[in-house]
Amino acid sequence: MSKKTPAVFDDDNPEWTKADFAKARPASEVLPASFARALVRTRGPQKKPTKVPVSIRLSADVVDHFKAGGPGWQSRIDAALRRAAFSKPSP
């Protein structure tokens, strides 16, 4: 059996009650409109789906190599696979 972690109480940040939730209002109602808009981050709908989500198992050293390049590593793997898949074999 697993041991339950005891609850931690913080007087500066008490747990919300049903009454607290009942009084709560959306940020758009209580913040200036310009500030509330800045909080919303949405990507929006794709114009045309161009990629298919898949699960693939790759060697750890390959993944490490692409991740070392920073953000966009999945796109770089996609580009490398496209080059390999569509390159013409040399005679």
Please give the pLDDT value at position 91. Answer: 61
Domain count, the chain: 1
| 32 domain residue, yes or no | yes
Does pTM surpass 0.75? no
pLDDT tens digits, residue range 69-80? Answer: 999 999 999 999
Predicted confidence at residue 70, as pLDDT, reads 93
Assigned domain for 77 exists? yes
Q: Residue 80: give the domain boundaries.
A: 18-41+52-86
- Residue 51, class by beta-carbon neighbours within 10 Å (0-12 exposed, 13-18 middle, 19+ buried)? exposed
Cβ atoms of 36 and 28 within 8 Å: the answer is yes
Question: What is the per-residue pLDDT across 13-63, written as a single tens digit (0 to 9) for each?
Answer: 888 999 999 999 987 788 888 887 787 777 777 787 778 889 999 999 999
The answer to the question of residue 65 being in a domain is yes
More confident residue, 64 or 40: 64
Is 47 a member of any domain?
A: no
CA–CA gap between residue 65 and residue 62 (Å, rounded): 5
